[in-house]
Amino acid sequence: MADNKMSTRDLRAYFHKVEALHGVTLGFAANRVTAIIGPSGCGKSTLVRCLNRMHEVVPGASCTGQVLLDGEDIYAPAVDPVQVRRRVGMVFQKPTPFPTMSIEDNVAAGLKLNGIAVSRAERDRIVEESLRRAALWDEVKDRLKRPGASLSGGQQQRLCVARALAVEPEVLLMDEPCSALDPISTARIEELLLELKENFTIIIVTHNMQQAARCSDFTAFMYAGDLIEFGETRQIFTTPARRETEDYITGRFG
Amino acid sequence: MTPTKSLHSRRQFFRKVKSDVMVGLTVLATVVAVAPLFLVLGYLISKGAASVNWNFFTKMPAPVGQPGGGMANAIVGTFELVGLACLFGVPIGVAAGIYLAENRGGVLAQAIRFSADVMMGVPTIVVGIFCYAIVVRPFGGFSTLAGAIALAVIMIPLVTRTAEEMILLVPHELREAALALGVPRWRTSLLIVARTAASGIATGVILAIARVAGETAPLLFTAFGNRFWSTSLFQPISSLTMQVYTYAISPFADWQRQAWAGALVLTVIVLALEFGVRWLTRGAAQVAR
Ligand SMILES: Nc1ncnc2c1ncn2[C@@H]1O[C@H](COP(=O)(O)OP(=O)(O)OP(=O)(O)O)[C@@H](O)[C@H]1O
Ligand SMILES: [Mg+2]
């Protein structure tokens, strides 16, 4: 467990009084891709949103237990959620480029909105590097001043990845990043994951079994707010220990 | 089979008649609803257009009996009063709107929302009397400042409520996307959410401007009107509406003609603002997506 970048201990999440996560204890290895799978409504989004303190943004939502980032509890009283979110970036299911901003401003949004002053040259370097990392640079390098919303859905999603990367997070959470994308864009994002894990720790929620099998190192299977099984992806998909897991990945329920 | 069939076609015939009658009625209602606008405009043009000329915009009011003269002071006064009112009213209204949208369920927010709604229903003459009591009396006289404050008081609830509604239209995902980048909440609200709603808010502001530009009653108690050129904030000032009022009730044909011209100019200004909004919101649809 020593090389876990993040881990949770008995994490319980609530919407008002309703418990949506029933005590999840799970570790996320550094520089690895961990996939979270499970049927709709089982708490995957809730879990990842607890990992960067986005859960509490929902009115009435709360959680108990611990979430450790490099061994420190991000829910400790002295911790500022804003600092946590800079270290743990997030890409959402629906692409969300800022509609009032150009492509490059979208990428640099994290810097600008946080009032981080950088020189023009430095900013351009960060924009280019982030877009390259998100495998979008070649497609947009000639139209950086165009609105972010002028891109296709798949490009918008990669723009959102670039935007998340530009603030140099350590962990990247992706909540079904491909569910609105065509197979080609999906393949690009998957390739991207393999490149990104050199530098980042990645946690991805997906409904796509092949995707989880293809690009993750570890897989967590959740059901009805519980973590049912966790292990190396190959083991989960070939010799699952639990009956529910096997049923789910073979498509017998869920 | 035949009787059912004829019954069927008869029912269809009645349906068609009923539909045509209804369509006819709605067309009639529409005509009745928009006719006054064109009648008013037409009447204003026929009565006032002849007196709208260069002098009207550039000359001061002429003394009684003397031909010519214009409403330069009243036109400038209207712009001054409305401009100042925006200076006070827009920041307060927008800030309050952001607050309401950010704290939807809060007790204070509900209280503010309720008072804004009540304020919108308060007759503007009451606002005038109120400003007379709390600004004019204590500060020793009618003034541009007092007039602008009265107009701002009328504007604030309008701007507040439209700003709130426009901000609530911004997709929740955008706010989350900014928060997830580690942007503090207040910066997210201002730089992403309010910024995205900006064109909608601008629309609300323009509509509020159009609304107060046509106010007379509250100004009679505060700015009072002035036959002379005035730029001091602490002196009475004229406005198109007050000038139209004074001239229209005067017994002099010359002044009455000028009142028509003033009414026409005011109407054109307000209509131009409304068309401006149309033009603005045409682009806003794609921004809000
Ligand atoms: N805003 C909310 N208010 C109340 N309950 C919620 C809210 N969001 C989620 N829930 C509940 O919490 C549980 C877990 O939801 P969650 O969104 O984490 O599921 P999920 O696994 O991400 O599902 P999906 O695959 O459909 O995205 C569900 O039972 C859901 O009804
Ligand atoms: Mg989800």
User: For B83-133, what is each residue's pLDDT tens digit?
Assistant: 999 999 999 999 999 999 988 888 999 999 999 999 999 999 999 999 999
What mean pLDDT value characterizes chain A? 92
Q: Give the number of domains in chain A.
A: 1
Q: Give the nearest partner residue to A98 out of B174, B180, B198, using CB atoms.
A: B174
Look at residue A90 and tell me whether its pLDDT is greater than 60: yes
Closest ligand to residue A225's CA:
1
Range in B56-70, B149-163, B165-179, B190-204 the model is least confident about: B56-70
Q: Can you give the pLDDT at residue A2?
A: 47
Name the residue with the closest Cα to ligand 1, atom 25. Answer: A40
Q: What is the Å distance from ligand 2's center to A21 Cα? A: 13
The pLDDT of B199-217, averaged and rounded, is 92
Cβ atoms of residues A241 and A228 within 8 Å: no
Q: Can you give the pLDDT at residue B179?
A: 95
SS3 B189: helix
User: For A137-147, what is each residue's pLDDT tens digit?
Assistant: 999 999 999 99
Residue A29 pairs with which residues in a beta bridge?
A4
Cβ atoms of residues B259 and B244 within 8 Å: yes
The pLDDT of A205-218, averaged and rounded, is 93
Name the residue with the closest Cα to ligand 1, atom 22. Answer: A45
Of A14, A42, A206, A208, the one to substitute when testing ligand 1's pocket (max ligand atoms within 8 A of C-beta) is A42
User: For B241-287, what is each residue's pLDDT tens digit?
Assistant: 999 999 999 998 888 999 999 999 999 999 998 888 888 777 544 44
Q: Is residue A112 part of a domain?
A: no
Distance of residue B135 Cα from the nearest chain A Cα, in angstroms: 41
pTM of the complete model: 0.82
A191 vs A136, A155, A187, A214, B129, CA distance in Å?
12, 14, 6, 10, 70
Instruction: Check CB contact of A57 with chain B, cutoff 8 Å.
Output: yes
Look at residue A1 and tell me whether its pLDDT is greater than 50: no
CA atoms within 13 A on the CB side of B274: 11
Q: B180 and A90: CB-CB below 8 Å? A: yes
Cβ atoms of residues A83 and A114 within 8 Å: no
What mean pLDDT value characterizes chain B? 90
Closest ligand to residue A43's CA:
1
Q: Is A119 exposed, middle or buried (0-12, 13-18, 19+ CB in 10 A)?
A: exposed
Q: Give percent above pLDDT 90 in chain A.
A: 78
* B242 vs B217: CA distance, rounded Å: 8
Look at residue A158 and tell me whether its pLDDT is greater than 70: yes
**CATH code, domain with A173:** 3.40.50.300
As a dihedral over the C-alpha atoms of residue A168, residue A172, residue A176, residue A179, rounded to 10 degrees, the angle is 30
Helix, strand, coil: what percent of chain B each, to 5?
80, 0, 20
The pLDDT of A65-90, averaged and rounded, is 94
The pLDDT of A71-87, averaged and rounded, is 94
Cβ atoms of residues A109 and B188 within 8 Å: no
The pLDDT of B18-24, averaged and rounded, is 95
The residues spanned by each domain of chain B are 69-281
Distance of residue A240 Cα from the nearest chain B Cα, in angstroms: 34
Report residue B288's pLDDT band, with 50, 70 and 90 as the boundaries.
very low
SS3 B209: helix
What is the total residue count of chain B?
289
Report residue B5's pLDDT band, with 50, 70 and 90 as the boundaries.
low
Report residue A211's pLDDT band, with 50, 70 and 90 as the boundaries.
very high
Residue with tokens 């409304």: B274
Q: What is the DSSP string of A95-139?
A: ----TTSBHHHHHTHHHHHTT----HHHHHHHHHHHHHHTT-HHH
SS3 B224: strand
Look at residue B289 and tell me whether its pLDDT is greater than 60: no
The H or E element that residue A10 is part of is strand A4-15
Q: Can you give the pLDDT at residue B228?
A: 86
The H or E element that residue B278 is part of is helix B253-288
Q: Can you give the pLDDT at residue B282?
A: 72
Q: Can you give the pLDDT at residue B4?
A: 57
Cβ atoms of residues A83 and B182 within 8 Å: yes
Residues of B with CB under 8 A from a CB of A: 105, 171, 173-174, 176-184, 187-188, 191-192, 195-196, 198, 287-289
Q: A113 and B171: CB-CB below 8 Å? A: no
B172: CB partners within 8 A, 6+ apart: none
SS3 A37: strand
* B222 vs B151: CA distance, rounded Å: 10
Q: Give percent above pLDDT 70 in chain B.
A: 95
Q: Can you give the pLDDT at residue A91?
A: 94
Cβ atoms of residues A185 and A129 within 8 Å: no
Q: From the candidates B102, B170, B174, B181, which should be mutated to test the interface with A, based on the most A CB atoms within 10 A?
A: B181
Q: Is residue A12 part of a domain?
A: yes
* B96 vs B157: CA distance, rounded Å: 9
Topology at the third CATH level for domain B69-281: MetI-like fold (1.10.3720)
Range in A238-242, A244-248, B9-13, B40-44 the model is least confident about: B9-13
Structural domain harbouring A66: 4-96+169-249
User: For A172-186, what is each residue's pLDDT tens digit?
Assistant: 999 999 887 788 888
What is the CA B254 to chain-centroid distance, rounded?
Answer: 30
The H or E element that residue B81 is part of is helix B72-102
Q: Is residue A254 part of a domain?
A: no
Cβ atoms of residues A43 and A101 within 8 Å: no
Q: Can you give the pLDDT at residue B114?
A: 95
ipTM of the complex: 0.90
* A147 vs A166: CA distance, rounded Å: 18
Contacts of B181 in chain A (CB under 8 A): 85-86, 89, 109-110, 113-114, 163-164, 167
